[in-house]
Amino acid sequence: MKLTRTSVFQSLFAMALIVSACSSDDAATDSTADTTAAEAETSAEPGDDAFTPGVLDSGATVATFDEGEVKVHTYTNPEAGFGNSTIVVETENAVVLIDSHFAESSASEFRAFAESFGKPIERLILTHDHPDHIGGVEPVFGDVETYSSAGVVSGAAGAGTTIKNTLDAGTVEIDGVEFVFDVFVDAEAEEQVVISVPEAGLVAAGDLIYHQYHAVMTPTFDNWISILEQLAAADDVRVVVPGHGAPGGPEVFDDIIGYLETARSTYAESDDAESFNAAMVDTYPDRAGANLLEFGSDRLFPKS
């Protein structure tokens, strides 16, 4: 079997997440997450105190952005889970989910969180095919209609995950609410779906944004920054949810654009991955997930 750069990245990322989950501290976290999820699945009711906004027993953080008729709820892993963020978009009669985590414990707790609103899951949309975003699809969301772009569907299939439906760029109405899908290529992932819900002011940017987290890099800095500038220029953006890190407002765009501009100039001056990664950590010592930089090393070096 020929291994592509993407498949190597996926394998390494998956192994790192497994190692993290099996360490003593993280094993305790995962065990707590499993217990919390199991309890929630059997007892969750709309507004259940188990999911009051804040930090859960598992270490994950949940938040709610009440935008009137449409509510946006987020579930963000702690640093041990690389800060992955997933989303529940709550409409009048349903919930739409975005991304599914890697660890089954996180995916299960996220599903229990989604079900706590007492509405059926209309669909699960996957932003891209990296294992930390699609790993929960098969074990936890097998009964849910899953969607992504053609390239992501194909990439996920290559990694052994079936995404049932293909979506195209454009606008789709779900339960009377407009969801806008944009598809971008050659940034953090080979293909990336961005989901916008104008009524809620939401931009779900997947791994185009790492908020206060170090990023998995590619040498396509100019294209990546250009995409972010395009998204930031949209009208009335109020809630920006990254692939990694806490949600925020439009200022999140400034954070990641500035980070990538620094990465671009640092890369131009670096001869190898070790010096590049060290320079980024030195420049941004307070950003979480420094080990995420390692997953981009074989994409950046040797320079072509």
- For residue 230, the tally of other CB atoms under 10 A from its CB is 12
Instruction: Report CA torsion sign: 222, 205, 188, 6.
Output: negative
Alpha helices in the chain (DSSP H): 5-22, 24-43, 104-115, 131-134, 137-140, 150-158, 221-232, 251-268, 273-283, 297-300
CB burial of 174-203 (b: ≥16 within 10 Å; e: otherwise) equals: ebebebbbbbbeebbbbbbbbbbbbbbbbb
pLDDT, averaged per 10 consecutive residues of the chain (304 residues), comes to 43 50 39 34 48 94 94 97 97 98 96 97 98 97 98 97 98 98 98 98 98 97 98 96 98 98 98 98 98 96 94
Q: What is the pTM of this model?
A: 0.88
How much is the pLDDT for 50?
A: 78
CA 18 – CA 247 distance, rounded (Å) = 25
Say whether domain 5-300 belongs to CATH 3.60.15.10: yes
Cβ atoms 78, 59 nearer than 8 A:
yes
Inter-axis angle of helices 5-22 and 150-158, nearest 10: 60
CA 285 – CA 291 distance, rounded (Å) = 12
* Strand pairing report for 177-185 and 191-197: antiparallel
